[in-house]
Structure 1
Amino acid sequence: MARRSTKQPLPDDFEEHILDTDIADEMESSFLEYAYSVIYSRALPDARDGLKPVQRRILHTMNVMGLRPDRGHVKSARVVGEVMGRLHPHGDGAIYDALVRLAQPWSVRLPMVDGHGNFGSPDDSPAAMRYTECRMAPAAVAMTASIDEDTVDFRANYDSRELEPSVLPSAIPNLVVNGATGIAVGMATNMAPHNLVEVVQALKHLIRHPDASVDDLMRFVPGPDLPTGGKIVGLDGVRDAYETGRGSFKMRATARVESVTPRRKGIVVTELPYGVGTEKVVERIKVLVQSKKLQGIADVKDLTDREKGLQLVIEVKNGFVPEALLEQLYRLTPMEDSFGINAVALVDGQPRTLGLREMLQVFLDHRFEVVRRRSVFRRAKAADRLHLVEGLLLAVLDIDEVIQLIRASENAGEARERLMTVFDLSQLQADHILDMPLRRLTKFSRIELEKEQDELRRTIEELDAILGDRAVLERVVSDELGEVAKVYGTPRRTVLLQSAGTSVATTAVSLEVADDPCFAYLSSTGLLARSASDEPPATGDGRANHDVVVSAVATTARGEVGVVTSRGRLLRLGVLDLPVIPASANDPHLQGGLPLSEVLPLEAGERALCLTTLRTDGPGLALGTRQGVVKRVNPEVLNRDEWEVVSLKDGDEVVGAVELASGEEELCFVTTDAQLLHFSASLVRPQGRAGGGMAGVKLGAGAAVLSFGAVDPATAVVVTVSGSATALPGTEAGSAKVTPFSDYPAKGRATGGVRCHRFLRGEDTLLTAWAGPAPARAAAASGAPVDLPAADGRRDGSGVPLAQPVAAVAGPVAAQLRVPDAAQDPGSPSTPVEG
């Protein structure tokens, strides 16, 4: 059966109008429109809030929906639908991918979305949006705070029916903290995440010193802090990126060699480079083993779970050196990867390549503008309310006349006019009085109104000060940044290494290394190294050095040293496994050192305190615990890798340990309530390994021991840093004081000591304390040096505010060294063994 045509005939008067256009012009015009759309509306973040348009629309929509952290989760599909229908006319898949990334702690350093359900892993994609739920993370609240106070401009959405913010107020420097990645047309951006606390410190320094250089800012931000931890090897590329906006650096996995079975060694990987998953590493290892490019691997097990975190175990066949195999894994697999920084962001609507200083300055300018506009809004609101309160007070004074006047009026308009005439009120004041219930016009209401009037006037004065004085505005922004770091800051995860150092494989298997005397060092950030010779370093001021050496012992290149930990354990460590640092005329800095976690199996929360020479003919070790116990341990070296040197009670830990040279040193305790006690080591009876020690210092209520050590009273100083006990660790700089140790009188063992620091207002505890040889050197958690005040004689005086928090204090390396006989005579045994 033939189908009948439905095509309608054209009318007789129809005329075709065909416009001839050159194809090259049309392609050029269309491509430019597409390129502009991708650059400005999709791929590149704004330098002010660090968000791409889709991310900004997600956070704004969740804020409008009221998905606060204290409320329940909602389906992710609901949020995606709201964003797509109201603000973002693109595919739901792109919106959901952006939402998922904001919720993944391995993708961003500070998650903005609190996800509930399967949001994927570094190797797997998330579940569909109909299965997952989400809400705002606490950090997202800070990004959108005060958005309803006219702090940012709004613009029309894609169909001009609603408004959306052109930028978020962003109390968090999101661009630097979380980084960004995006591919536009003809350009791309790739920025590494950083630590919030370090970035805030750099911002506060830039506020105080607007002409600060990149080197000045790198004292606070020494390098990226990746969400997955790991190590960054080589900081030259990082500095190039901070200077020019372009650079690259190498990322290495964190791995250690340990016994995985009673007869087999293995490599345990606990952190991988940023963006690398375990499946990618395992697959690459299988390919290399099958092609016989990598030998010595018996098995690979992925034991990653929610409790232990990432744990990839690579078993090594007997007869192969694990350290040499680890070097091959770094070279051949994604366990070592590179990250290229290309810091491109929108500034005033134009794409620009930004260095570290430019990114921080753009954010500061944005925060200054946000706080200024917020202050203008709040002042106008307070002034309007004050105007109404003043009118109410006039009415309360003559309440009877007001009531009589209103009752005598024919209508509301007449009442308004008469109120304005008789009491000299404005129309707003008169309308407000007419709209108020009579019960508010009481004597008690007058007291409330006068109190509110005073508060409003004070508020207006404070806001006028912000708007009229640039210094006050800068102080407000600086204080708000400090509060953000306190609330949302976390400790650094990524270890920064200046270089890879000497190959572990070479030092581990080489038999050509002579057993020459040398020194072993332990730094404040947990790096280990050994010197190239037995020449003790001269005392330097350390200003050009990174990190401080907290413990140093004399040993030999093929000898062994011990590491005392906070759990009361003594771990044996081969000196040959440590990288060699070059000789220096000043105190050494261990940027090329080896992280302690790679060579020793430390437990969760366990810290390395000091190095020992493992001598059996000396006065032994002295240890002090958090609960005030002191112990001298008889020198004893057992024929195993680890043993306990003190029996600790529940909840106690070792806070300080030192190897005694003569047994007549002064032992010094410093407690959190600023009490210092010192007495001779001869008053402490030596005990065996099983002993629990004896009373060292008498603690006050709620106090604990903060520092313990052995000092020479003639050359020692005491460093104390005070602050608030409620502050997040590592965020409060505090107030520091340096005092000669000789100013503190000695007291008997088990007594309370004398006060060593006076707290200022807002301070109630000591954050850091140390006693040792002068001159004292301090370092931040990143290893950057911190300037300490000059020593004074006020033994119980208050401190001087610091520029940044202190993580460790140490004295000159030469003063820490105690040279054993083995180091002086290479022919004698370096580590006698008993038991």
Structure 2
Amino acid sequence: MARRKARTTRVDPAAFDRAGAQVFDNSLKTEIEDSYLEYAYSVIHSRALPDARDGLKPVHRRILYSMHENGYRPTHAYVKSSRVVGDVMGRYHPHGDMAIYDAMVRLAQDFSMNAPLIDGHGNFGSPDDGPAASRYTESRLSPEAMLLVGELGEETVDFRPNYDGSLAEPVVLPAAFPNLLVNGTSGIAVGMATNMIPHNLGEVIGAARWLINHPNATLDKLMEFVPGPDLPTGGMLLGLDEVRRAYETGRGVVRMRAKVEIGPLEGSRGRQAITVVELPYAVGPEKIIEKITDEVTKSKRLTGIADVKDLTDGENGTRLVIECKVGVNPQALLADLYRLTPMEQSFGINNLVLVDGQPQTLGLKALLEVFLRHRYEVVTRRTRFRRRKREERLHLVEGLLIALLDIDKVIRLIRNSENAAEAKEGLMKRFKLSEIQATYILDTPLRRLTKYDRIELEEEQERLRAEIAELSKILDDESVLRKLVSTELAKVAKDLAVERRTALIDGDLKEVLAASKPAGPLEVADDPCQVLLSATGLVARTAAESEEATEARRRSGRARHDAVAALVHTTARGQILVVTSRGRAFKTDVLPLPVLPEHAGTVSLGGGMAASELVPLEKGERVVGIAPLGERAEGSPGLALGTRSGMVKVCSPDWPVRSDEFEVIGLKGDDEVIGATWLTDGTETCVFLSSDSSLLRYPASLVRPQGLKGGGMTGVNLAPGEQAVFFGAVRTDDDEHGEPMVVTATGQSVKVTPFAKYPAKGRATGGVRTHRFLKGETRLMLAWVGPRPAGMARNGSSVELPEPDPRRDGSGTAHPGPDVVGRLVERS
């Protein structure tokens, strides 16, 4: 605390104590007011608020400077943290050792800072727990810290006396990157406080470099580089409109949200788990567990949670598993968790910093401008220092070269002098040298006066002159200075930039929060629903509803305008079987599947989940079919499968009870499943379409059901070099959905033909031609059989198909064709 200045007050001449010291008579009110103002000033300037230039409070700056002076650099061995604390406290920061250690710990925590400034070894704490004592931890400077202190030895910043005047300490650090924006800070002063949020280093440097070349850049342009904060713990940040307000005024409130993964709970049937993998800034797993426990046991506002497990470790990172009760909608439970626990939390931004010693609240652009002004000054002072050092060296080199030209005379003059002073005076007078040059010549060993050393000196002279000229350009031309600062920032970004951790969700905060509320109750009844697999590989379910509501909706004729590859009837809390092209099957719960959104009387599969998110697919593997499980699967002969080599199999529905993943067909070589259809009663017709445009149909009853290990039997005879491009089991007695159609496409033409035009034949025979190839057409690229065909591109947009052609053996209509084909379905 600064010493109070003497005041001019009325003094009684007799008011002296026994030791002869003068006693001042002040009112209590004046004494308290003056003392409080001095205390407030000291806290604001010397403890709580960061400097806008290097982004550090005095204690942080002193820690880094002390470690730099003692040589605790990244190449140095770790030293005890208590040793660092003692040095800082004894030399620069006369406060409590715990206060110094706490500040030092934050500089080492990667969950508190995007670019930790101290490389810590040992237990430096977690968001929930404090660090070990300083005697148990070790530390040294990090590479990022070296960018803050690395130019101190080049007169880049001013120094001031330390607290007792015995040493000097820097007023500010050179700071080669915008540390304040990158790492953020917080502090409480007297009557004011600061709370700054971290940002991505690469993004901040990108904005700073743009501002160097475009000083009049708008905030919106800078936000193209810095779209929002980037927190060390990742997570999500909601409502960028509020972020923009904070960047404009320096004040604002942003909402942070944990990132979660929802999926089946390992080792359980029908239960889901919400796994938290990223948390809001400064929130730890134990805080969430404690809040969940309170809400479940005391207020009972949180229901549907069976258990909570913290599986967080150093290898896998954050992993907080929240187990849902059976029948609980995890999306609805997640909304309650966001509302009632720290999984969603606000961060009040208040960019209050010291600028020229004065507290100011700055926006994004102003913070970058203050940093850049500081860098311009640092680089200018550094350049002056380097130029002066080179000029001094050049002066010595030039003097030595003069002496080498007449080395014999120089030696004779020195030898004939009475003493060194006379020799120096003689050199200065005879060869017109300065005192510094003369002294340097006298101090130079004779071994440096060889012919080879003269060549080296001449080369050094040319190099020094060139470097001085380059340094002078920096000092004389402001554009060169700006370009140098920009180049140095680019190198920092190249060396230290990392990928963004925090996901940003744009829009107004209230609207974002309203849109994120899930529809549907927390407890989901086990009502009938449908699961659909789209032709583009999306999986979704309809909302659970009663049979009466289902029938009413069917009669209302609401259609789904998407190409659907497969549809099964099940219940909301039931399971389905997902079949892949590798012949693998997975039991999957229905409840986690996204519910199809409804718009203007139609339902779109665009809200579905990619099949790769539902089951663990290997490279090149895809989902080819789905099937019901449980009561909905009773009475069926099994699952009909067809492979690219023409094999067919009906797999009996004797699925393993304790295994959720198993094979349904034994494939040979590189063969793969191209179609999987659930048989309702065995009256379906099996259909193969080959690449040479041959169609074979025969009753499914001709295929004998086999167990899981069976490899099937020959389904169609293929010509040499040809392969099957479609397999399915089609019903011909489904009057509700209409007559099945055959869709074939070559890439140049498309043809739609009634399925009834093709005669039935025996299994393992050749088919009949369905698409006559035109010139340039060699094979079918796409084929499909089923009612109400619909074509689609890979992006999900619809592609209009030609009108049906009654000619079985005719050619197609010129048409680029769709990428996938499925059918239009009604909810029934």
For normalisation by structure 1, the TM-score amounts to: 0.65
> Which residue in the other structure is 2:297 paired with?
290
Q: Does 1:328 align with 2:336?
A: yes
1:293 is displaced (CA, Å) by 2.0
Alignment partner of 1:497 out of 497, 502, 505? 505
Distance 1:425 1:247 in 2: 66
* Residue in structure 2 matched with residue 375 of structure 1 by the alignment: 383
Q: Residue 275 of structure 1: which of 273, 278, 282 is its match?
A: 282
Output the amino acid matched with 2:318: L
Query: SS in structure 2 opposite 1:503?
Result: coil
User: After the TM superposition, which residues 308-319 of structure 1 pair with which residues of structure 2 at under 5 Å, given as runs?
Assistant: 308-319=316-327
Q: How does 1:105-504 map to 2 (within 5 A)?
A: 105-258=110-263, 259-263=265-269, 264-291=271-298, 292-498=300-506, 499-500=512-513, 501-504=515-518
Kindly provide the amino acid, as one letter, of the partner of residue 197 in structure 1.
Answer: G
Q: CA deviation at 1:22?
A: 2.0
Contact kept in structure 2, 1:267 and 1:314, CA below 8 Å: yes
Task: Give the structure 1 partner of residue 825 of structure 2.
Answer: 826
Q: Per-residue deviation at 1:594?
A: 11
| Residue-by-residue CA offset, 1:139-194 (whole Å, 9 max, x unaligned) | 11111111110101111111111110010000121000000100001110001111
Q: How many residues in Structure 1 have an aligned counterpart in Structure 2? A: 615
> 5 Å matches for 1:505-584?
506=520, 577=594
* Contact 1:204/1:478 (<8 A) preserved: yes
Quickly say closer, same or farther: Cα 1:36–1:597, change in 2 above 3 A.
farther
Residue 43 (structure 2) pairs with residue 38 (structure 1)? yes
Closer, same or farther: CA 319–13 of 1 in aligned 2, 3 Å:
closer
**Partner deviation per Cα, 1:631-662 (whole Å, 9 max, x = no partner):** x9999999989999xx9xxxxxxxxxxxxxx9
Aligned partners of 1:267 and 1:326 also within 8 Å: yes
- In 1: Cα distance, 2:118 partner to 2:142 partner: 5
Query: Could you say if the C-alpha distance between residues 129 and 16 of structure 1 is closer, same or farther in structure 2, counting changes exceeding 3 Å?
Result: closer
Residue by residue over 1:587-628, the C-alpha shift from the partner in whole angstroms, topping out at 9 and shown as x without a partner, is: xxx9xx99999966889xx9xx99989589xxxxxxxxxxxx
Q: SS at 1:59's partner residue? A: helix
Q: In structure 2, do the counterparts of structure 1 residues 819 and 390 end up closer, same or farther at CA, with 3 Å as the change threshold?
A: same
User: Does the 8 A contact of 1:529 with 1:581 survive in 2?
Assistant: no
- Take 2:391 and 2:608, find their aligned partners in 1: how far apart are those partners? 62
Say if 1:685 and 1:554 are closer, same or farther in 2 by CA, change over 3 A. farther
CA contact (8 A) 2:235 2:278 kept: yes
Rg: which structure is higher? 2
Counterparts in 2 of 1:287 and 1:568: CA distance versus 1, 3 Å? farther
- Once residues 53 and 70 of structure 1 are traced to their aligned partners in structure 2, the CA distance between those partners, rounded to angstroms, is 25
Deviations 1:526-549 (A, max 9, x none): xx999xxxxxxxxxxxxxxxxxxx
AA matched with 1:371: V
2:826 partner SS: coil
Q: 1:106 Cα shift?
A: 0.6
Give the counterpart letter for 2:174 in structure 1: P
Distance 1:17 1:358, change over 3 A: closer
Of 62-71 and 484-493, deviating more is 484-493
CA RMSD after TM alignment = 4.8
Alpha-carbon distance, 1:290 to partner? 0.9
The offset of 1:411, in angstroms, is: 1.1
Q: Where does the alignment leave 5 or more consecutive residues of structure 2 unmatched? A: 1-14, 507-511, 542-560, 569-575, 601-605, 627-643, 668-689, 693-720, 727-746, 749-793, 796-815
Shift of 1:504: 3.9
3-state SS, counterpart of residue 825 of structure 2 = coil
| Residues 1:577 and 1:641: Cα distance change in structure 2 (over 3 Å) | farther
3-state DSSP of counterpart to 1:390: helix
What amino acid maps onto 2:482 in structure 1?
A: E
| Contact 1:324 1:505 (8 Å CA) reproduced | yes
Q: Is the 8 A contact 1:554 1:819 kept in 2?
A: no
Quote how far apart the aligned CAs of 1:515 are. 9.8
Matched to 1:457, the amino acid is R
Where in structure 1 are there 5+ consecutive unaligned residues? 1-9, 523-527, 531-552, 584-589, 617-631, 648-661, 665-683, 690-711, 714-771, 774-814, 830-835
**C-alpha spacing 1:385/1:17, structure 2 compared with 1 (3 Å):** closer
Distance 1:57 1:15, change over 3 A: closer
Q: Deviations over 1:723-779 (max 9, x none)?
A: xxxxxxxxxxxxxxxxxxxxxxxxxxxxxxxxxxxxxxxxxxxxxxxxx99xxxxxx
Secondary structure in 1 aligned to 2:139? Answer: strand
For residues 567-606 of structure 1, what are the structure 2 equivalents within 5 Å? 577=594
For 2:479 and 2:18, locate their aligned partners in 1 and report how far apart those are by CA, in whole Å.
Answer: 76
Instruction: Verify the 8 A CA contact 2:295 2:302 in the aligned structure 1.
Output: yes
SS in 2 for 1:260: coil
State the Cα distance separating 1:84 from its structure 2 match. Answer: 0.7
Q: 2:206, 2:579 → 1: CA distance? A: 33
Percent of residue pairs bearing the same amino acid type: 53
Report what 1:802 is aligned to. Answer: none
SS of the aligned residue for 1:105 comes to coil
The answer as to whether partners of 1:54 and 1:98 remain within 8 angstroms in 2 is: yes
Residue 693 (structure 1) aligns with: none
8 Å contact kept, 2:594–2:608:
no
* DSSP 3-state at the match of 1:324: helix
Residue 334 of structure 1: how far off its partner (Å)? 0.8
Instruction: Please give the alpha-carbon distance, in whole angstroms, between the structure 2 residues aligned to 1:568 and 1:154.
Output: 74
* Equivalent residue letter for 1:281: I
CA distance in 1, matches of 2:817, 2:287: 46
Which residue identity does 1:503 align to in structure 2? K
The one-letter code of the counterpart of 1:374 is: R
Superimposed CA distance per residue, residues 312-339 of structure 1 (whole angstroms, 9 cap, x where no aligned partner) = 1111121212222111111111111111
- C-alpha distance in structure 1 between counterparts of 2:661 and 2:404, whole Å: 85
Alignment of 1:649-664 (within 5 A): none
* Partner secondary structure for residue 70 of structure 1: coil
Cα distance change of structure 1 residues 641 and 462 upon mapping to structure 2, 3 Å threshold: farther
Q: Quote how far apart the aligned CAs of 1:819 are.
A: 6.2
* Contact preservation (8 Å) 1:502, 1:580: no
Q: Residue 261 of structure 1: CA displacement? A: 2.1
**C-alpha spacing 1:641/1:204, structure 2 compared with 1 (3 Å):** farther
Check 1:17–1:396 CA distance in 2 against 1; reply closer, same or farther (3 A cut).
closer
Give, in whole Å, the separation in 2 of the partners of 1:367 and 1:348: 15
Give the AA of the match of 2:328. F
User: SS of the residue aligned with 1:135?
Assistant: strand
TM-score for both structures, normalised by structure 2: 0.66
**Superposition deviation, residue 20 in structure 1:** 3.1
What is the letter of the counterpart of residue 156 of structure 1? P
CA contact (8 A) 2:691 2:722 kept: no
